[in-house]
Structure 1
Amino acid sequence: MSTFINLRGYGEHTRNNLTVITEALARAAEYGQDALALTDARTLAGVPTFVREAKAAGIKPIIGMEISLAASGDRLYVHRPTEDSPLFHNVTLLARTPRGWENLVAINNATQDPAHARPVADLPLLARHSEGLILLTGGMDGPVAEPLARGEHDLAERNLKALTGIFGPGSIFLEITCQKVPGEWKIAGELQRLSEQFMVPAVATSAFSYVDASSARFHVALAASDASPKEAWREPVRVPDLSLRSEEQMRAANRENRFWQAAVDMTSAVAATIEDSVLPEPVLPKMPSHRLPNGYRDPIVLLRDLAVAGLNDRDGCTTPEGMWRLDAELDLIAEAGAAKYFLLLHGLVSHLRSRGITVGPGRGNAGSSLLLYGLGVTDVDPFESGLRFESFLVPERGLPVFDLELEHSGIDEAVKYLAGRYGKRSVARLSSAIRNSDRKAERMAGQIMGRRSRPADDTEAADLAEALTGRVHSVTTHPTAVAVSSVPLGGAFPLRAPRSYDNPDVPVLAWNRQDIEGSGLLVINLLGLRSLTPMGAAMKAAATAPRAGGQTWVIPRSSRGDLPSVRNAWWLLYRQDLPGLKIAAQELKNMLNAGRTMNLTELTNLVAVSPRGSQAMKMYLASSAEPARGTATALSILSRATADSRGILLYREQIADAAAWAAGYTVADGFRLAEALAEASPERTEAERVRFTAAVEAHLAPEARRPGEAEALFAVLAASAPGARSKAHAAGIALRAFNQAWLMSSFPGQYGSAAA
């Protein structure tokens, strides 16, 4: 096992660096290193991915951050003590304990000031948040080595004395480096003297910016071109080695120097003092506080009363079957502790509608909930569409992300409502990393190599483009995702300085949606659609217009073919493409224009099948499967599951149904099967096959277990899963399209004026 551990390294969230985390972890394992550090410059954005990948690779993740430390004065007023000294020095902080992680987050958040182009910390800030942290004094740009290189020995001593006064013994280490940087070995003797004088151990570091030395030329090109983006740049004569180093490479840098060899040994001692897991463990959802109206103590009772009142306004939804379904959903919601989440959604949508903001009929899996249908949060009838609530909520999996379609102008109003209702420090926007596409990487490589003083050939540009493809180009605010919590988010999550276009009322988290999974935060996607604005104007006219007989809702059901307005809407829907639904295949238009279909189920299927291409659409139109009757074999169950989609398996819901009927899975387990098969992993697919076929044999009666049918059914499910869509999502798109067509045909004047 290696006695050297890399305690400093930059990931893709540090500008111009080319480290691929999975490759870095694999190389560390190859070198026998059982731990690895990620210390991005002035950001903690890469921490969740690094921790996730490191644990999967069996490597202990060491979490840290390189910060800029004010060279003098405080962080808000940095000035030069001498003409040649820098504005700030760089030091590295490592989180040793969970408390250290909290303090690392606090330091990060305190320096995210949009008024300053570069986050800078000062000594008082470090003093307030030093518990659980380890400080490395930085390389040649640190507060000790940099003054020594300039001959300022007294300043180096004063800086080290100030830092040792904040970080006690065992929490501060002098860095000594070997990266072919000018002056490194000239100050080695002085660093040894200071180490002995202040009794501060030294550690040998080599901060990596890429994994393999072959990437050095790409890193040089990025750094040089970035320094002078409009001028020609020249490759340096001496290129620093910024690759991920092995113990042998580190020891070979100076085999005769005992101080250096001891510093190499010290890295593993430092790594051993760091706890295996410093990030908080996944927690149950932190539900925002929600005051109940007078007379209510149980939010479940309030939800039921609100839903029943709403369902009474719908067409025939308070049947015994409907009430049984509603109570079953409420039981799952109570088990998940999610009642306040549904009250939050109801309050948000009700507020937006009270402000005249048009909200879409439903998006994502939320249309699977009869409760949300009764609360008026969605307009998708789960009974009519054959949807299962478990596609939206399974208690042990945490709370789902809710997708809300609304007028584009209503996004700020939604954020303002959430901040006002739950506290602006408890609501935040999420970040989103923009990565280089193939084309963008080629363009960047061409521009960089085109400015090099020595002409580059096509091979060099192509190699650089390959290295840049898929890399983080910039980090921006997610256009839709908003997180809500019961506690101030700045105390638990790293923040990012907001951009000028960000909503100033709420902070911005440095992490994206995937990064906060399991953290207990509620996430709502606010999807602004400009097509909803004219729909809102027509809806206002429809609300005051006379309604046809038996029509209790503003927009009648799509199945009311007896109403001329509904027939006109279907005709208009297929006469032209509408935003969000483009039926381009002539075969489909011919069928639909001929009036051979006028129901939402068929339209939902067309939404699901259209993205698969013309061949899939032709296959769908040529199919006409009917449910098998009087049998319960595995393949007849598949026919039953796909009866409303012409025998073609289109949806994850159909996979869940087939698994429930054939293998006795719960609906929730059926959805898990669909997700597992969608990954198309051979190992996981094989494990699911063994489990599924055994379950079929145990569940079906002997006369229904025909040889090979369980395997045949599983093969169909596995082949269809990667392309299977959410039926609830497709039903929401289909319903919005019908609603739009009905409003356009029934109130063209109001719709047209708003659209204009």
Structure 2
Amino acid sequence: MSPAFIHLKLHTEFSLIDGTVRIKPLIKRLAESNQPAIAITEHVNLFSLVKFYRAAMAQGIKPIAGADMLIFNPGEPATPFKLTLLAKDHSGYITLTELISKAYQEGQHQGIPMLQREWLEHTHNGVIALSGAMEGDIGRALLAENQDLAKGLAAYWADLFADSFYLELQRVGKPEEERYIAGAIELAAAINLPVVATNDVRFLRPEDFDAHEVRVCIHQGRVLDDNRRPKDYTAQQYLRSAEEMQALFADIPEALENSVEIAKRCNLKLSLGQSFLPDFPVPPGMTLGDYLRAAAHQGLEERLVQYPAQGSDSPEANRKCYFDRLALELDVIIQMGFPGYFMIVADFIQWAKNNRIPVGPGRGSGAGSLVAYSLKITDLDPIEFDLLFERFLNPERVSMPDFDVDFCMDRRDEVIDYVARRYGRDHVAQIITYGSMAAKAVIRDVGRVLGFAYGFVDRLAKLIPFELGMTLEKALEESAELKQLYATEEEVKILIDMARSLEGISRNAGKHAGGVVISPTRLT
């Protein structure tokens, strides 16, 4: 039986500016309500995509990748237009990544990533576009009673996204909704455009609205009771059931039907868990495996000149033991397809040493590799210390090798800059990290937003034990004073209950200090 409605617009916690939806509870809720597909459309990012894709596929739910984009508004740069893009296939996914990267790299206005309209004219393959409802350029023109402008914009987008542009309708309890919907229906009929219903989801249940408002205020740096703060969301922006949406749009059934048709048209398949190593330059006439063998043999000879072979046999027998071990390791490394990885790591470590940047001697299972020792990746002789190569790399357990490399923190950026120059700046990027609302921090954030006195909030935060992995649930068990206050003081209970609903949610994005991606192709 075909579903009656599919949600095509939803922000999770990874939108960072709003949204309290967490991936696992979302997928569980979809499974319980027999919703076979859903689109996550974060605020100008794809941060949640891999986590969402894996969780959805594991439950037999179709994941639809998308993003809510901001289009630069030359008339009012501070109020950009909204446009939702959904990936139909892999080409659409590439389009999304390219546009989002361009927005952050070239389109930021007052720190907000936006797209220029002409960028979309050159990059729009494989995506379906939703008009942004009242916050899109068509919606604003309709609300301004400028039908000619609205018609011209609709024709422009419909021509750009041929057979893939939909006028978006929402009924979430915002002012002017019905006036906009009436204008949008009339416009759709006039120029033969399809319409689609969304619920612009920000939280799972209606009762999550208050927590969502607190989360928004945390991002905006505002207090909940501030009468001047913008009220951009309503309590109706929850994950409605298909039955609720049918009742809501009983007068426009085609808007629901089109949500299902769009879901059918979106069929993105991601290849996860595969490794793609950049090309390491080798001399003409040599393969990467040949080059690794030559470099490792030369390196081991240099090592043994400085540090003779260890062992209880004769010097010749000890040397033979080293070269036999080297040959064995090389066979495994080449067979598993990792010679490039070793050469890349050896290259930037040698550059750091040549430039007098302190490098650690090696730690973890990588110290068990004689090839790594020969290439100067590590400075520990694995034979002398009886370290096993198999703990590092094993043909029976295929996984990427992992060297733990320590650089001087004061000059680490120089090494990253060298790698970017070596492989191309558009092939190298540092990886993202997410700051979450941990126990102490969420108490302070929520307390500030709820308008509690600093001293009151500070006292509660200091009652939470300072240890790794501490949660509010655990703190209430371990701190007798906190438990007593929670049981007897209403304000304490209000604060802690609200904090518990937001605890662990992603709060902000950051840059990993040392994690770097090196790609064989341009990163988008």
Identify whether the pair has TM-score above 0.5, normalized to the shorter chain.
yes
How many Å separate the matches in 1 of 2:520 and 2:66?
27
Q: More displaced, 439-448 or 314-323? A: 314-323
Of 274, 287, 299, 2:291 maps to: 299
The structure-2 alpha-carbon separation of the partners of 1:239 and 1:296, relative to structure 1 and needing over 3 Å to count, comes to closer
Residue 187 of structure 1 aligns with an amino acid whose one-letter code is: Y
Residue 186 of structure 1 aligns with an amino acid whose one-letter code is: R
Q: 2:59: which partner in 1?
A: 57
Alignment of 1:5-404 (within 5 A): 5-14=6-15, 15-71=17-73, 78-80=74-76, 87-113=79-105, 116=109, 117-169=111-163, 171-224=164-217, 226-227=219-220, 229=222, 232-233=225-226, 239-255=234-250, 257=251, 260-277=252-269, 279-280=270-271, 282-292=273-283, 298-312=290-304, 313-317=306-310, 318-394=318-394, 397-404=398-405
The structure-2 alpha-carbon separation of the partners of 1:226 and 1:327, relative to structure 1 and needing over 3 Å to count, comes to closer
Offset at 1:267?
Answer: 0.9
Contact 1:303-1:339 within 8 A present in 2 as well: no
Q: 1:675: which partner in 2?
A: none
Contact 2:368-2:389 within 8 A present in 1 as well: yes
Q: 2:500: which partner in 1?
A: 466
Q: Which has the higher contact order (CA 8 A, sep 6+)?
A: 2
Question: TM-score under structure 2 normalisation?
Answer: 0.84
How many Å separate the matches in 1 of 2:161 and 2:19?
30
How many Å separate the matches in 1 of 2:88 and 2:7?
15
Offset at 1:340?
Answer: 2.2
Offset at 1:141?
Answer: 0.8
Q: More displaced, 436-445 or 375-384? A: 375-384
Offset at 1:364?
Answer: 2.4
Q: 1:663: which partner in 2?
A: none
| Deviation readout 1:314-333 (Å, 9 max, x if unpaired) | 23155333222211110111
Residue 54 of structure 2 aligns with an amino acid whose one-letter code is: R
Q: What secondary structure does 2:307 align onto? A: coil
How many Å separate the matches in 1 of 2:302 and 2:523?
34
Q: Note the aligned Cα RMSD (angstroms).
A: 2.6
Residue 129 of structure 1 aligns with an amino acid whose one-letter code is: T
How many Å separate the matches in 2 of 1:237 and 1:369?
57
The structure-2 alpha-carbon separation of the partners of 1:254 and 1:95, relative to structure 1 and needing over 3 Å to count, comes to closer
Contact 1:288-1:484 within 8 A present in 2 as well: no
Q: What secondary structure does 2:344 align onto? A: helix
Q: What secondary structure does 2:204 align onto? A: coil
Q: What secondary structure does 2:200 align onto? A: coil
Offset at 1:224?
Answer: 4.7
| Deviation readout 1:235-284 (Å, 9 max, x if unpaired) | 979943111111111112243x1xx222112211110111152x345544
Q: 2:479: which partner in 1?
A: none
Alignment of 1:413-562 (within 5 A): 413-450=414-451, 457-490=491-524
Q: What secondary structure does 1:37 align onto? A: strand
How many Å separate the matches in 2 of 1:381 and 1:433?
38
How many Å separate the matches in 2 of 1:392 and 1:227?
46
Contact 1:130-1:167 within 8 A present in 2 as well: yes
| Deviation readout 1:67-115 (Å, 9 max, x if unpaired) | 01123xxxxxx334xxxx9742101000001011111111111111375
Q: What secondary structure does 1:289 align onto? A: coil
Q: 2:485: which partner in 1?
A: none
The structure-2 alpha-carbon separation of the partners of 1:428 and 1:239, relative to structure 1 and needing over 3 Å to count, comes to closer
Offset at 1:398?
Answer: 4.1
Q: More displaced, 240-249 or 393-402? A: 393-402
The structure-2 alpha-carbon separation of the partners of 1:61 and 1:394, relative to structure 1 and needing over 3 Å to count, comes to farther
How many Å separate the matches in 1 of 2:357 and 2:232?
62
Offset at 1:64?
Answer: 0.2
Give unmatched runs, 5+ long, in structure 1. Answer: 72-77, 491-756
Identity, in percent, stands at 25
The structure-2 alpha-carbon separation of the partners of 1:342 and 1:224, relative to structure 1 and needing over 3 Å to count, comes to closer
The structure-2 alpha-carbon separation of the partners of 1:159 and 1:468, relative to structure 1 and needing over 3 Å to count, comes to same
How many Å separate the matches in 1 of 2:81 and 2:385?
62
The structure whose Rg is larger is 1
Q: What secondary structure does 1:483 align onto? A: strand
Segments ≥4 residues shifted beyond 4 Å: 224-228, 234-238, 293-297
The structure-2 alpha-carbon separation of the partners of 1:237 and 1:288, relative to structure 1 and needing over 3 Å to count, comes to closer
How many Å separate the matches in 2 of 1:355 and 1:189?
68
Residue 47 of structure 2 aligns with an amino acid whose one-letter code is: A
| Deviation readout 1:120-152 (Å, 9 max, x if unpaired) | 113221121111100011122112222222322
Contact 1:103-1:133 within 8 A present in 2 as well: yes
The structure-2 alpha-carbon separation of the partners of 1:303 and 1:337, relative to structure 1 and needing over 3 Å to count, comes to farther
The structure-2 alpha-carbon separation of the partners of 1:397 and 1:285, relative to structure 1 and needing over 3 Å to count, comes to farther
The structure-2 alpha-carbon separation of the partners of 1:86 and 1:16, relative to structure 1 and needing over 3 Å to count, comes to closer
Aligned residues: 473
Q: More displaced, 391-400 or 422-431? A: 391-400
Q: What secondary structure does 1:408 align onto? A: coil
The structure-2 alpha-carbon separation of the partners of 1:444 and 1:127, relative to structure 1 and needing over 3 Å to count, comes to same
How many Å separate the matches in 2 of 1:294 and 1:411?
35
Offset at 1:431?
Answer: 0.9
Residue 173 of structure 1 aligns with an amino acid whose one-letter code is: Y
The structure-2 alpha-carbon separation of the partners of 1:388 and 1:461, relative to structure 1 and needing over 3 Å to count, comes to same
The structure-2 alpha-carbon separation of the partners of 1:345 and 1:238, relative to structure 1 and needing over 3 Å to count, comes to closer
Contact 2:82-2:137 within 8 A present in 1 as well: yes
Give unmatched runs, 5+ long, in structure 2. Answer: 311-317, 454-488
Residue 325 of structure 1 aligns with an amino acid whose one-letter code is: R
Q: 2:484: which partner in 1?
A: none
Offset at 1:11?
Answer: 1.1
Contact 2:218-2:446 within 8 A present in 1 as well: no
The structure-2 alpha-carbon separation of the partners of 1:142 and 1:363, relative to structure 1 and needing over 3 Å to count, comes to same
Contact 1:373-1:379 within 8 A present in 2 as well: yes
How many Å separate the matches in 2 of 1:129 and 1:447?
43
Offset at 1:392?
Answer: 2.0
How many Å separate the matches in 1 of 2:432 and 2:88?
26
The structure-2 alpha-carbon separation of the partners of 1:444 and 1:284, relative to structure 1 and needing over 3 Å to count, comes to closer
The structure-2 alpha-carbon separation of the partners of 1:230 and 1:8, relative to structure 1 and needing over 3 Å to count, comes to closer
Q: What secondary structure does 1:92 align onto? A: strand
How many Å separate the matches in 1 of 2:218 and 2:347?
52
Q: What secondary structure does 2:450 align onto? A: helix
Q: 1:412: which partner in 2?
A: 413
Question: TM-score under structure 1 normalisation?
Answer: 0.59
How many Å separate the matches in 2 of 1:465 and 1:61?
30
Offset at 1:34?
Answer: 0.8
Residue 508 of structure 2 aligns with an amino acid whose one-letter code is: S
Offset at 1:221?
Answer: 2.9
Alignment of 1:592-631 (within 5 A): none
